[in-house]
Amino acid sequence: MTEISSSANVAPGFSRFPAFLYGLLIAGLGMAVYLTGVLLGFFRLLLQADGQLLWVVDRIVWYSGVPVVAGLILILCDLFLLLPYKRHDRVVRWAPSDGKSLTVVLTAFNDELSIGAAVEDFAAHPLVQRVVVVDNNSSDRTAEVARKAGAIVVHEPVPGYGSCVYRALREGLRYTDTDLTLLCEGDMTFRAYDIDKFLAYLPHADLVNGTRISEQLREQRTQLSTFMYYGNFFAGKLLEVKHLGKGTFTDVGTTYKLCRNRPLERLLPYLTPSINLEFNAHLLDTALARGLAVVECPITFHNRVGLSKGGNSSNWKALRVGTRMILGIVFGWRKRR
């Protein structure tokens, strides 16, 4: 059974160029220049400025068309010239896992109110062998409550979401009696019954990523505001056009994932734990770049128990996290120190 998709090995070098992504950026720059020219023209009329400003405005508007056209050419080239090479070896993968039992790893930071219920929920699923809680320097009774609920608790001393997720994935690989690692959070936003959905998608993938984008599967009140919801969708589409032909992506921010252990073991050395709240986008981007087959699975999304400490705590914080995600996807992620 092949754990890494073959597309990473046979694609010509030129077909790996993310022309669609760079075309969008160049065309977007041109549109920004055009709008600047339009605004200057408006102020020229408002202030009744002289003809010199009119000459400047005309040149800005005129030459803004150059990057727009250049960007459109790149996009069309990627869609009609490069995409067939990127997809030329595409077959529908069917590789069932040898074993379906799994180890669940939950990230936790000051989740005393929710961690007990989360552990019990996942531990009750018949395919779950164990639940491991990675406590990232909690100042409350998170570790104590998790142990009482039956979890194996490990302490991750390095603060930060990326460090906690990275440690959780490492912990999942420690157990040789399971071939699968399920990554999730301990805040009760996700449920164990979605494990069956993940397993239905697993024969097609090395990594199944949960997506919260299905409106019908979201509770009315969650920590995702409308701004976060569509911002996350936008970042997912940027990831999609960067890796055009490798998948459809709508959610780069969810922690809920099911991983095959062998591909995960190969992926871990290329991940950077110091990347913080944008780590999930970094993980998906790196997995696709390394040739892993990634498929999205629609999951249910519930209102969390307790307060959010991550990027969903406010729209302003989400904007900063989202900006770092976009910069990482477009320009690359900072290297491991």
Which DSSP string corresponds to 24-92? HHHHHHHHHHHHHHHHHHHHHHHHT--HHHHHHHHHHHHHTHHHHHHHHHHHHHIIIIIHHHHSTT---
The stretch 40-51 carries a mean pLDDT of: 70
The stretch 259-278 carries a mean pLDDT of: 97
* Confidence at residue 13, expressed as pLDDT on a 0 to 100 scale: 61
Same-domain status, 153 and 274: yes
Rounded Cα gap, residues 36 and 61, in angstroms: 8
Same-domain status, 167 and 248: yes
- Residue 107 sits at φ, ψ, to 5 deg, of -85, 145
User: Which of 44, 59, 86 finishes a domain?
Assistant: 86
Token readout for 110 is 């000051």
Q: Would 96 be classed as within a structural domain?
A: no
How far, CA to CA in Å, does 249 sit from each of 33, 49, 86, 246? 29, 48, 17, 9
**Residue showing tokens 């999730």:** 184
Same-domain status, 202 and 273: yes
How far, CA to CA in Å, does 214 sit from each of 210, 241, 301? 10, 20, 9
* Confidence at residue 5, expressed as pLDDT on a 0 to 100 scale: 42
Same-domain status, 62 and 174: no
- Percent over 70 (pLDDT), the chain: 90
* Confidence at residue 100, expressed as pLDDT on a 0 to 100 scale: 82
Same-domain status, 121 and 197: yes
Same-domain status, 256 and 177: yes
Domain count, the chain: 2
- Please, is 119 exposed, middle or buried when counting C-beta atoms within 10 Å of its C-beta (0-12, 13-18, 19+)? buried
How many Cβ atoms are within 10 Å of 298's Cβ, its own excluded?
17
Does the pLDDT at position 223 exceed 80?
Answer: no
Q: Would 3 be classed as within a structural domain?
A: no
The stretch 275-291 carries a mean pLDDT of: 97
Same-domain status, 163 and 202: yes
Rounded Cα gap, residues 83 and 269, in angstroms: 29
Range with lowest mean pLDDT among 40-54, 73-87, 99-113, 319-333: 40-54
Same-domain status, 285 and 316: yes
Q: Reading across the β-sheet that carries 180-185, which strands appear in turn?
A: 152-155, 128-135, 102-108, 180-185, 257-260, 207-211, 294-298
* Confidence at residue 58, expressed as pLDDT on a 0 to 100 scale: 85
Same-domain status, 64 and 211: no
User: Which of 28, 56, 86 finishes a domain?
Assistant: 86
Q: Which domain holds residue 106?
A: 102-331
Cα angle: 93, vertex 248, 216; to 5 degrees: 110
Q: Would 203 be classed as within a structural domain?
A: yes
Rounded Cα gap, residues 224 and 314, in angstroms: 9
| CATH number of the domain encompassing residue 197 | 3.90.550.10
* Confidence at residue 307, expressed as pLDDT on a 0 to 100 scale: 74
Count of all residues that appear for the chain in the document: 337
Q: Which neighbouring-strand residues pair with 11?
A: none
Q: Using DSSP bridges, classify how beta strands 152-155 and 180-185 pair: parallel, antiparallel or unpaired.
A: unpaired
Mention every residue, 6+ apart, whose C-beta is less than 8 A from residue 251: 209, 210, 211, 212, 213, 232, 233, 236, 296
Contact between 258 and 198 (Cβ < 8 Å): yes
* Confidence at residue 337, expressed as pLDDT on a 0 to 100 scale: 41
Same-domain status, 276 and 314: yes
User: Which of 54, 86, 118 finishes a domain?
Assistant: 86
Same-domain status, 36 and 167: no
Q: Give the pLDDT confidence of 67-111 residue by residue, as tens digits.
A: 999 999 999 999 999 998 888 667 888 999 887 899 999 999 999
Would you place residue 311 in the very low, low, confident or very high pLDDT band (cuts 50, 70, 90)? low
